[in-house]
């Protein structure tokens, strides 16, 4: 049986050190694969357990840097490792980050759809939990941002600048 060699190749497939399938191609800031050997953006480690404050801070820094794909990975870790009662909150925020990613890549249909889906998820979670500002998150403002951006990318189907368009997860 083949073993992971540390470089990630097992039987012709990229693998991580634990042997799980994982594409080893470098990626750009929007998560698009680049050719092997190209200089890419360092990937977010997967499976990191952060507390909510660390999650929000890390995701905001990545959003501000124009790396919404990577922010999505941070939110995904929170949704997978956090309490069941918060799964929809973090999943909705991950969808917003992916919507921003698609909008920046020029996929206006997918971007707008995911921005609206994420906005609906965080709005619904907030209403069900009676928590409009968990962890100081401005869910009302984030949902409003997402709806306005979705409308704009549909009207002007050109890629957006992810860093310029990044949401403020917390009010200043």
pLDDT higher than 70, residue 22: no
Domain that holds residue 138: 52-165
Q: Is residue 121 part of a domain?
A: yes
Other Cβ atoms closer than 10 A to 88:
17
pLDDT of residue 35: 86
- Please tell me the distance from the alpha carbon of residue 159 to that of residue 64, in angstroms, as a whole number: 17
pLDDT above 70: residue 4: no
Are 58 and 33 in the same domain?
Answer: no
Q: What is the pLDDT of residues 141-161, one digit of tens each?
A: 999 999 999 999 999 989 999
86 compared with 8, residue with greater pLDDT? 86
pLDDT score recorded for residue 3: 37
In our burial notation (b when 16+ CB lie closer than 10 A, e otherwise), range 123-144 reads bebbeeeeeeeeeebbbebbbe
pLDDT over threshold 80, residue 88: yes
pTM of the model: 0.83
- Asked whether residue 114 falls in the same domain as residue 34, the answer is no
Cα–Cα distance for residue pair 86/77, rounded to 1 Å: 12
> What is the percent of the chain with per-residue pLDDT over 70, rounded to a whole number?
87
* Pairing outcome for strands 9-10 and 13-14: antiparallel
Q: How many domains does the chain have?
A: 2
Q: Which residues contact 56 (CB under 8 A, 6 or more apart)?
A: 135, 136, 137, 169, 170
Residue 164 in tokens: 């310029």
> In this structure, are 61 and 103 located in the same domain?
yes
């Amino acid at each position: 049986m083949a073993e992971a060699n540390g470089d990630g190749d097992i039987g012709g497939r990229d693998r991580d050190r634990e042997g799980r399938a994982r594409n080893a191609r470098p990626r750009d800031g929007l998560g698009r694969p680049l050719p092997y050997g190209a200089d890419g953006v360092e990937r977010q480690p997967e499976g990191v357990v952060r507390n909510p404050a660390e999650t929000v801070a890390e995701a905001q820094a990545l959003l501000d840097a124009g790396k919404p794909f990577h922010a999505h990975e941070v939110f995904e870790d929170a949704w997978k490792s956090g309490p069941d009662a918060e799964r929809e909150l973090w999943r909705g925020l991950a969808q917003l980050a992916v919507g921003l990613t698609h909008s920046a890549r020029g996929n206006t249909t997918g971007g707008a759809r995911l921005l609206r889906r994420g906005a609906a998820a965080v709005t619904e979670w907030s209403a069900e939990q009676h928590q409009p500002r968990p962890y100081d998150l401005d869910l009302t403002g984030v949902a409003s941002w997402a709806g306005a951006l979705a409308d704009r990318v549909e009207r002007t189907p050109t890629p957006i600048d992810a860093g310029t368009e990044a949401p403020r997860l917390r009010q200043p």
